Homo-oligomer: A and B are copies of this chain.
Amino acid sequence: MKTISRKEEIIKVAATLFKEKGYSAVSMRDIAAEMDIKAASLYNHINGKQEILAEIILKVAKEFTLGMENVFAEEVDSIEKIERVIELHVDITVNYSEALASLNNDWMHLQKTDLELFVKMRDSYEENFRSILKDGILKGEIKPNHPEVILFSILSTLRTLYLWNQKRGKLDVNILKKDMVEVLIKGII
C-alpha cells in the first residue's frame, strides 16, 4: 500500500495546473489554494517552483530515455522495434498523463543544469529512434522516404497522445496500442 507523501501531492497538483495553463501562468499561490493551504506552507515540502517543474519533467524524461534504450537493444526487426516504441509511449501517457504537458510545453523553463540534462536525454532518445528507422530502410523493411519525415510524423503523434487520451473516454489501452500501430505503420489506405 503506497501512501503518497505531501511533496508528491504538491507535484501532482502542480502538474495538473501546469497542464491547464502552463508553468509561467501558474503561481505558487494557485498551487497552494488548490491544496487549501497558504503559499508559504509549500516551502515546508519543496525548495521552490523550479524544483517542482524539474521533478515533473525529469522523471518522465528518464522513463522515455531508458525505455528507448531497452527497445533499441532488443534483437527484433525494425518494425517490431517501432511497435515497442509506440507501446512505450502509450504506457507512459496512461501513467503520467499530467506530466506530459509540462514535458512538451514547459521544458524551456527548466534552469540551466536541468535543461541541459533534459536536452541531452531528448537528443539521445531521438537519435536512437532515427537509428532504428535508418536501419529499417537499409534492410528494406521500411519504404525509403526521408527518415526525418517519418521520425517527425510518428513522434508528433506520440507526443500529443496525452491531449487526446483525455478527450476520448478512457479507451482500452491495448486497443489503443493496436490502432496506433496500425495507423502509424500501415497508413490509412
Contacts and interface: CB of A to CB of B under 8 A. Distances in A.
Nearest to A175: B146
Interface string A151-189: 011101101110010001000000010011011111111
B145 A179 contact: yes
Given A108-B20, A189-B143, A160 B150 contact: no
Contacts of A150: 183, 188
A154 B153 CA distance: 8
Nearest to A101: B105
For this chain, the copies found in one complex come to 2
Interface of A: 20-25, 79, 82, 105-106, 108-109, 141-143, 145-146, 148-150, 152-154, 156-157, 159-161, 164, 168, 176, 179-180, 182-189
Contacts of A156: 156-157, 159-161, 164
A67 to B, nearest CB: 20
Main secondary structure of the interface of A (DSSP, over half): helix
A157 B153 contact: yes
B149 A180 contact: yes
A172 to B, nearest CB: 12
A11 to B, nearest CB: 20
Contact of A183 (B106, B109, B141, B145): B145
Contacts of A184: 153, 187-188
Nearest to A141: B189
A189 B152 contact: no
